[in-house]
Amino acid sequence: MWPVRLFSVMGTNRNVFRCPASRSDAAWDPNINKTLGATDPNGIFDPYGITVGSRFSYAYVDWGLDLTHHPQLGLGGDVNGGYYQGVVTEAMVVKPVDMIMLADVAAPLNTTGVWPANLDPTQQDQWPSNRHNRRTDIMYADGHAQSAIRKQVIDPVQNNPWRSRWNNDNKPHNEVSWTVNWAQEAVVDH
């Protein structure tokens, strides 16, 4: 849902939804990206539709550090179903200047049922990419961007300043733990 929601405020330019350094077939263009196409809620096929199998090079912070936290910590996860918790409003984002909104992701061919357009430091298959000299480009909720070392961004160490940036309440949620395979983190995404 996040690309569709941002589309109208991006000048309806689908080209801005792909990192120029990523794979060309991660574009939001069904002529290039053959993983696109889905039936919308009204039963109409949309060639630009995004599914769990769609390839993207950018991803959105949907759940923050904890999928099950109430209220949700990210910027909005599921839009229906058991995990749906309602719309995240601007007022819920305590510190937009520090809230990660979007970042580069690896854009792999998705055959495992993960959501590659979702961003989560606790899940290796949803890590931000490190394709820019081991850095990831991050866009914050206030609209500014930063290039950060991916290793630091996903580090689960308690009180790491990055932990708070994943959550709309701007708290580190040290009760949430995860591990990082540092050998896998060292592999550069393309």
Q: What is the pLDDT of residue 114?
A: 67
Whether pLDDT at 122 is above 80: yes
Q: What is the pLDDT of residue 83?
A: 75
The candidate with the shortest Cα–Cα distance to 133, out of 123, 148, 119, is 148
Residues 113-133: b if buried by 16+ CB within 10 A, e if exposed: ebbbbbbbbbebebbbbbbbe
Mean pLDDT, range 32-53, rounded to an integer = 87
Bigger pLDDT: 11 or 141?
Answer: 141
Q: How many percent of the chain have pLDDT more than 90?
A: 51
What span, in angstroms and rounded, lies between the C-alpha atoms of 46 and 95? 36
The candidate with the shortest Cα–Cα distance to 169, out of 64, 78, 76, is 64
What span, in angstroms and rounded, lies between the C-alpha atoms of 119 and 129? 10
Q: What is the pLDDT of residue 151?
A: 95
90-116: pLDDT as tens digits: 999 999 999 999 999 887 766 666 676
